[in-house]
Amino acid sequence: MSYTVFARKYRPQTFDEVVGQDHIVKTLKNAIANDRLAQAYLFVGPRGTGKTSTARIFAKALNCIHGPTITPCGVCDMCKEIERGNSMNVLEFDAASNTQVDKIREIIIETVRYAPTSGKYKIYIVDEVHMLSTSSFNALLKTLEEPPAHVKFVFATTDVQKVPTTIISRCQRFDLRRISTPEIAQHLQFIAGKEGITLAPDAAEAVARGAEGGMRDAESMLDQLVSFCGDTIDEPDVLSVFGFTSAHTTTALVDHLIAGEAAPALAILHSEGEAGKDLSRLMSDLIAHLRNLLVLQCAPGSLRDELSAESEATLTEQSGRIAQDRLLELIQQFADAEGRMKWAPNKRMHFEVAAIRAIQALSQATLTDVLDTLTAIHGGAPAPVSAARPLAKPAAAPARPAAPIPAAPTPRLSLAAAVAAELAATKPAPSAPPPAPAPEPPTARVAEEPAPPPIAPPPPAAPPAVTAAELWPRLVARINKERPLIRAWIEAGQLVEIDADTATLAFPPDQSIALESCERPNNRKYLEPLISELAGRPLTLKFEKRAGLVPEKVEIAAEKPAAAVDPLLAFKEDPLIKKALEVFQAEIISA
């Protein structure tokens, strides 16, 4: 008996055996159970995700002797014929080999009129349908839109962009997603158990990651590993056969990048290159690792369907040691390097240069860091500290030791840390508090007469009264200086009365818009404190319309324009900027 590869031997035969496409399976089951079958279906997805297998299961569900049913028996003649691919009622062909319009007429258009020889439906399964020519698609349009009641079409494609929209609009479209790494690893363990193979969990995860969401690829790789290793497969075997890099290696490389350790990072690249590993694949794994760190920072717990619990815990710990903006920089740098590596003969050199640049970028302070530190020191508030670039706190001067102590290595400070340390060192030490006065010696108690009751201070003098005519020019002048946009509304009225606690601002009847504008909460909130300040006592502002009122115009003397201040000169004269220039022996060059 000939050998059957795992990809064919363990191809799903029922809806429940389909892995990772629950949304597709549930929809098809409900359509069959509720008798809501469309005339055409389009399955879209990457390779090895189950498009053709799902189409065959759907055909068995419709033509089973017990069908239509969501659980085809698999033992009747119709199910066995569909499984073997020799059913006369389920015609499966590859569109890449039958692109001409004459083939489509011969296979489909001229045969749809004939009823099925057995079973209820005649089903056409067209794989890689995007390979059909434009003429073939056009010839298929009418038949696809209004086929006989006994005809069903199932199309599968990996490149739906090449399928005309006129075809897509006549089909129910189902998008099959890439299968997650844990689901593929679990299925590989199932196959290993059936075959009596010992498959290490790390090895299954490595194969699942290398399959990139394709179950058929993973099964083919497992088949190859059995031929190479026998009944026991470990992770080193997977890495050796396929040139993959272990997840631990990628994690260690990122650890060295975050810590600024160039030598260990380059050592990993050297060892992977000498071992014959695909450095382009390692670059892709590195970018995917950084992407996972970024996603975990933005949405913790969102990768539980993609990662194992152990991998998620490792990434969560690692993501707390690098800032989000730095992760974005690293992803951009390595993505650019990946583009260069595709066409470069020396891929290792580009990888090493990208790693060194990444370490340098992490060790440098950004302009935001420097400005935040200077602002914090200038205002006396603590500067914000980045998770990837902690600012060194200047230590107090130690007491003079009795014996000489070897000097510790000087820490490597970032730009912001150096400015902070230097400016903190130049600040004058706080003066010691004055000594407390010595207590007076106890004296003999002398009987004293009770002190007279305190005399209440006289009440403060009332501010001089101010009239509305005196206050009005001052009020308009202040408004013109502070809020010139509302001056026109104010001048449309007149301050007519000031009594004990109220100031009345009146408007002619035709100035309703100006009155309503001044009554707005934000304008009232500004005007009432201003009138109270000018009057010297708290006043409540009252608005009213008054017939016959002629507002008095107030002439405001034009102020002399202030001399223009050179912003660059003001920046240079700032004490903090001067000190920074002294620390770094730098100068400001105007553009």
What is the domain count for the chain? 4
Would you say residue 319 has pLDDT above 70?
yes
Neighbours of 321 (CB within 10 A): 13
Whether residue 326 is found in the same domain as residue 300: yes
Distance of CA 250 to the CA centre of its chain: 21
Is residue 48, in this structure, part of any structural domain at all? yes
Distance CA 358, CA 265 (A): 11
Whether residue 233 is found in the same domain as residue 189: yes
CA R_g for the chain: 41
pLDDT (tens digit per residue) in 120-145: 899 999 999 999 888 889 888 888 88
Is residue 481, in this structure, part of any structural domain at all? yes
Which residue, 192, 212, 216, 217, is CA-closest to 204?
192
Domain boundary among 242, 268, 289: 242
Torsion sign across C-alpha atoms 270, 276, 277, 283: positive
Is residue 440, in this structure, part of any structural domain at all? no
CB within 8 Å of 165: residues ≥ 6 apart: none
Domain boundary among 225, 242, 259: 242
In DSSP terms, 173 is beta-bridged to 42
Distance CA 511, CA 519 (A): 13
Q: Give the least confident one: 174-178, 238-242, 400-404.
A: 400-404
Whether residue 61 is found in the same domain as residue 101: yes
The torsion of the CA quartet 135, 141, 144, 146, rounded to 10 degrees, works out to -150
Whether residue 217 is found in the same domain as residue 275: no
Would you say residue 190 has pLDDT above 90?
yes
Domain CATH for 234: 1.10.8.60
Q: pLDDT class for 24, splitting at 50, 70, 90?
A: very high
Distance CA 492, CA 525 (A): 19
Would you say residue 99 has pLDDT above 90?
no
Which residue, 247, 263, 434, 487, is CA-closest to 356?
263
For strands 502-507 and 494-498, give the pairing. Answer: antiparallel
Which residue, 35, 22, 42, is CA-closest to 62?
35
Domain CATH for 501: 3.30.300.180
For strands 502-507 and 540-545, give the pairing. Answer: parallel
Is residue 381, in this structure, part of any structural domain at all? no
Whether residue 37 is found in the same domain as residue 137: yes
Q: Both tokens of residue 285? A: 């794994």
Is residue 134, in this structure, part of any structural domain at all? yes
Torsion sign across C-alpha atoms 146, 147, 152, 157: negative
Whether residue 189 is found in the same domain as residue 253: no
Residue 221 is which amino acid?
Answer: M
Better pLDDT: 521 or 410:
521
Q: pLDDT class for 421, splitting at 50, 70, 90?
A: low
pTM for the whole thing?
Answer: 0.58
Whether residue 170 is found in the same domain as residue 25: yes
- The residue whose two tokens read 């509305």 is 468
**Residues 362, 364, 369: CA angle, nearest 5 degrees:** 105
Whether residue 25 is found in the same domain as residue 149: yes
Distance CA 185, CA 176 (A): 19
Q: pLDDT class for 54, splitting at 50, 70, 90?
A: very high
pLDDT at 361: 85
Is residue 522, in this structure, part of any structural domain at all? yes
Residue 351 is which amino acid?
Answer: F
The torsion of the CA quartet 341, 342, 345, 349, rounded to 10 degrees, works out to 10
> In 307-366, which residue ranges form alpha helices assigned H by DSSP?
309-319, 324-341, 347-363
pLDDT at 209: 87
**CB of 53 within 8 A of CB of 85?**
no
Whether residue 303 is found in the same domain as residue 232: no
Residue 411 is which amino acid?
Answer: P
Is residue 478, in this structure, part of any structural domain at all? yes
pLDDT (tens digit per residue) in 161-172: 999 999 999 999
Whether residue 487 is found in the same domain as residue 516: yes
Q: Which domain holds residue 33?
A: 6-175
Domain CATH for 337: 1.20.272.10
Whether residue 268 is found in the same domain as residue 293: yes
Domain boundary among 344, 363, 382: 363
Whether residue 482 is found in the same domain as residue 540: yes
Q: Where are the beta strands (DSSP E) in 86-207?
A: 90-94, 122-127, 151-157, 172-175, 198-199
Would you say residue 412 has pLDDT above 60?
no
Domain CATH for 152: 3.40.50.300
Mean pLDDT of the chain: 80
Is residue 400, in this structure, part of any structural domain at all? no
